[in-house]
Structure 1
Amino acid sequence: MPNIIREIADSAAALAKGFTVTLKNMLGPTVTENYPQEPVHFEDRYRGTHILRRDENGLEKCVACFLCAAACPANCIYIEAAENIAANRISAAERYAKVYNIDYNRCIFCGYCVEACPCDAITHGQGFEIAAFDTSTLVWRKEQLLEPAPAPPESQGAPPRVLPNQIPYLGLPRKR
């Protein structure tokens, strides 16, 4: 008989503890974000879409060392290297990434590519809206991943430079 009373008392205590947690959360502040009316605020460590960085001179930091592609467990990074020429330097190194694709159909946003890069050329940004009806649009090319080139000092008020295959202000590829 005392065991039954103890079980009932323990069950009632557990039930009361659960109701306490429920009431605390019900009466506390809400954490709902009014997206898309209000911008979403992410922590600095958030792993969003990738960004290929530039140096202070506007040259690409990527030297096509293939370490990011080798570190990727999902095998979603494809790189083709090319030699830099003195007349038109793309990167400060001898080589640059002529083709740099990330397949977001396969990417698991693990961050191994960012950790493996010796030049700090690739990083995670704050982008998260990559949903698409056509999965072929989830293979992002180098032009979509590159951060914008810094504006020259004499043209601070000029509109941003738009590459031939980009929609102005969005950086998205044009439909062909």
Structure 2
Amino acid sequence: MAVVVVDRKKLSLLERTYIPQIIGGLWITLKNFFKPKVTLEYPEQRPVLPARYRGAPTLVKDPDGREKCVSCQMCEFICPSKAIKVTPGDIPASSRYAFIQKAPKKFEINMARCIFCGY
């Protein structure tokens, strides 16, 4: 088994003191210092949201005001942050919507855990 000896070049004084890297970092800092700010002072300044913004997930309702959810629990299983909890419930046989198998007894979205993924 042979030993490989690597010859490294000697660093100059400028390279040993990291002065070019420090100047480069300061240059980036100064460039960003004079750019316009992108942060908003939230309660006073509201962000402009697009018309089709899909931020907060909600339970969709039909024109009659009834939830369109059939408690399949797919949203609960696909949610990456596990923020949605669906408890299925039955629909009474006397209801005009009795042909639907299930309706949510409880539908909870934990907005503290939600990552606004769009599912």
Same fold? TM cut 0.5: yes
Equivalent-residue separation in structure 2 for 1:44 and 1:4 (angstroms):
58
1:58-78 CA-to-partner distances (Å, cap 9, x unmatched) read 432211111222334555413
Q: TM-score normalised to the size of structure 1?
A: 0.46
Q: TM-score normalised to the size of structure 2?
A: 0.63
What residue is the counterpart of 1:12 in the other structure? 19
1:25 CA displacement: 0.9
| Contact 1:63 1:97 (C-alpha < 8 Å) held by counterparts | yes
Unaligned stretches of 5+ residues in structure 2: 1-9
Tell me which of the two structures has the higher relative contact order, counting C-alpha pairs closer than 8 angstroms and 6 or more residues apart.
1
| Contact 2:88 2:102 (C-alpha < 8 Å) held by counterparts | no
Matches within 5 A, 1:1-176: 3-8=11-16, 11-41=18-48, 48-72=55-79, 75-76=82-83, 77-83=85-91, 87=95, 89=97, 93-104=100-111, 107-109=113-115, 111=117, 114=119
Equivalent-residue separation in structure 2 for 1:109 and 1:44 (angstroms):
20
Unaligned stretches of 5+ residues in structure 1: 115-176
Of all paired residues, the percent bearing the same amino acid is 26
